[in-house]
Chains A and B, each alone.
Chain A
């Protein structure tokens, strides 16, 4: 009997090897996205996946057997904006890393959230530059030693969810790779949400983060996620001191707000109506 992975049907024929290291969290994220599409019974041909540079940029490209646009470093959201505006009937999903989306591409991230353009952005946040060899990122915890912070990181880490919430996104959630089910639920919701949806996935990089920083291997890192995380509900009753070094997981924003492509269509319809009136 030949065994098949239930999601293998979504993998591009010929894409057999992976760019990710053993223990990487990217596989869990890939599965969560494909499982969400499968459970929603959507056609993957109705999606355009856009990614940038870095390990997480390889999650959809080349593995997802769909239209995929693997772009330049930091710019996937800007490319995705062009795709969505020209084809509002497509599901546009951006999957990339924290360096790509929040450092070099930070400006596009906040402006896409402000516009509330209908797309799903999944940020694999491993808190480090993995592909280039473990350099400090804007998501690296204060004090951590990396290859470019040999004396410890002197900068504070970005709270990406707080940033995107305040920029005006319709949907914001945070999960870790330990919370594969919660993550899948959120991806399903994000895809269906009309507006800008942002999901931060705290993800392990056992090679560049775990090994060099002494946090441990993939299993140890995921155990840490399990032990240090708490739900939004539980977190709401704790003070700042009690929340220190904890990962708050769950849905942080879920609102119905005006969406960009609908606003553009409204303007066009208004012009059309005015033209008819003039005739």
Chain B
């Protein structure tokens, strides 16, 4: 069992599928700290990474974990950490550092019930906005939301590919429901797995004027150990990495370039899955909520009610504003399902801009899956 890609059919836990996806993507460095409900990812990586020549280290806390991930990424390693809300809270400063220094890395957030210690084993989609805006300052982020064990595998690979391509932090925003669920997953043959590697500078490039930062089309990464004499700083810097902590204009350029890198490529990054046909009511969901939506749609189809469809966010960030704008012109009502008190709902409302009615529907009890029949009832109420 020492292969990096365990091709075949498995009955696998979501967290384990995530770890296997990371290995299949080429991840060779994991630094973490135990936390429910994400510990299984660390345990699997501790077992598997030494088998494939990688490094696993359990750090003294989450602040150190993300720091070590960033440090290793600067040597060229594909790196990740996995934690839950409290751990992400502790990592926030260095998440901003990774964004600012354009360091590719993958963060798995197996969300649990919060705020604070909350309930570790209950699933809440409580950290959606935290992923977007948790660290200080202006920045953009990429976040994917898997809803099955298969997607824990697939989306983790995609997260690495996006991190490498755009040199940034990519979140996999899953939760205790998906992380602890067990399902059939199919791991393809290694040659069928699409892997992206970060661009590196020309080895003969000038050492003094090497442009390794702030390119909206993603600068090649001057990783350590190749004589690039790279200067990496979380301070405001220019495209050669040279610090400038004096000019507001330099800060303006630095912020806009970092954000612009994601904005410019948002159309390539954003992924949604729609099952709408001619439906006039859209159920917008992401992550574990999508499972309840699927079940509700099955029930409605059995009752010959075809005026309802699903619009699912695969990437939550960058937010699929244009796609929702287009959706709003085709439907009368949008029901947003989230296992929280409505974190993306204001973003949906802003995108809809009054073109359709927007209704927010949380589960009856926060921290549990939506009852599919409650969704069905809501749809029937809207139709009436």
Contact = CB atoms under 8 A, between A and B. Distances in A.
A80 B208 CA distance: 24
Interface of B is mostly: mixed
A278 to B, nearest CB: 9
A81 B94 contact: no
A67 B228 contact: yes
A71 B234 contact: yes
Contact of A72 (B61, B93, B225): B93
B55 interface: yes
B136 to A, nearest CB: 11
A12 interface: yes
A111 B31 CA distance: 14
B232 A86 contact: no
Interface string A103-128: 00001100100000000000000000
A83 B227 CA distance: 15
A81 B72 CA distance: 8
Contact of A268 (B50, B65, B234): B50
Contacts of B68: 78-79, 81-82, 85
Chain B interface extent, by class: 35 or more
Interface in A200-227: none
B55 A75 contact: no
A264 interface: yes
B28 to A, nearest CB: 8
Nearest to B241: A62
Contacts of B359: none
A86 B50 contact: no
Interface string A66-106: 11111110110011111111110110000000000000000
B51 interface: yes
Contacts of B67: 71-72, 75, 78-79, 81-82, 108
B70 A79 contact: yes
A70 B234 contact: yes
Interface stretch (B73-81, B272-280, B306-314): B73-81
Nearest to A261: B55
Interface of B: 2, 28-29, 31, 50-51, 53, 55, 57, 59-61, 63-65, 67-77, 79, 93-94, 97, 208, 224-225, 227-235, 242-243
Given A48-B224, A86-B71, A275-B2, 8 more contacts: A12-B229, A62-B231, A69-B224, A72-B97, A75-B67, A81-B67, A85-B68, A86-B29
9 contacts: A48-B224, A66-B229, A68-B230, A70-B235, A83-B72, A83-B224, A107-B64, A268-B50, A271-B2
